């Protein structure tokens, strides 16, 4: 009996198991959910709660999730620091800095959205994604 359907083919050699890939994808995409749920009152703080929870729960049992969860957490902390810096710049300049900070916030927000989606897709493929311009604070 031949098995020709796509579900019967084994994953590529060296690729993380499907469950690890799925949890790694969740680690990246949970930032989107956190950002959407908390945007009204906590903004970028909610973006790293999801990756933090997934990383803390799965880091000892799944090596790929440990790596990707840490990467998602570092990226979202970095974006949070950038937004905090832009907010402080706005306050220090008594609002005049809005001319600069609003466009920068929009650009950073769009980049965050695009890179988070790309990272989730790559993690689901079993590829260890590295975000550009990320402070590696969690080792």
Report yes or no on 96 lying in a domain: yes
Q: Give the number of domains in the chain.
A: 1
Q: What is the pLDDT of residues 52-110, one digit of tens each?
A: 999 999 999 999 999 999 999 999 999 999 999 999 999 999 989 899 999 999 999 99
Report yes or no on 74 lying in a domain: yes
Report yes or no on 90 lying in a domain: yes
Q: What is the pLDDT of residues 20-64, one digit of tens each?
A: 999 999 999 999 888 887 765 566 677 888 999 999 999 999 999
d(CA 89, CA 104): 12
d(CA 49, CA 95): 29
The helix/strand count (H/E) of the chain reads as: 4, 0
Q: What is the pLDDT of residue 111?
A: 95
Report yes or no on 7 lying in a domain: no
Domain holding 74, by residue range, is 17-120
């Amino acid at each position: 009996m031949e098995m020709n359907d796509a579900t019967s083919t084994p994953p590529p050699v060296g690729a993380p198991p499907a469950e690890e890939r799925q949890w790694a994808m969740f680690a990246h995409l949970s930032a989107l959910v956190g950002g959407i749920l908390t945007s009204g009152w906590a903004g970028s703080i909610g973006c790293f709660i999801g990756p933090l929870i997934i990383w803390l729960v799965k880091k000892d049992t799944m090596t790929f999730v440990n790596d990707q969860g840490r990467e998602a957490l570092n990226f979202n902390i970095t974006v949070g620091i950038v937004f905090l810096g832009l907010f402080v710049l706005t306050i220090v300049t008594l609002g005049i800095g809005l001319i600069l900070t609003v466009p920068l916030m929009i650009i950073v927000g769009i980049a965050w959205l695009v890179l988070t989606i790309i990272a989730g897709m790559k993690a689901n493929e079993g590829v260890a994604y590295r975000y550009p311009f990320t402070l590696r604070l969690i080792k």
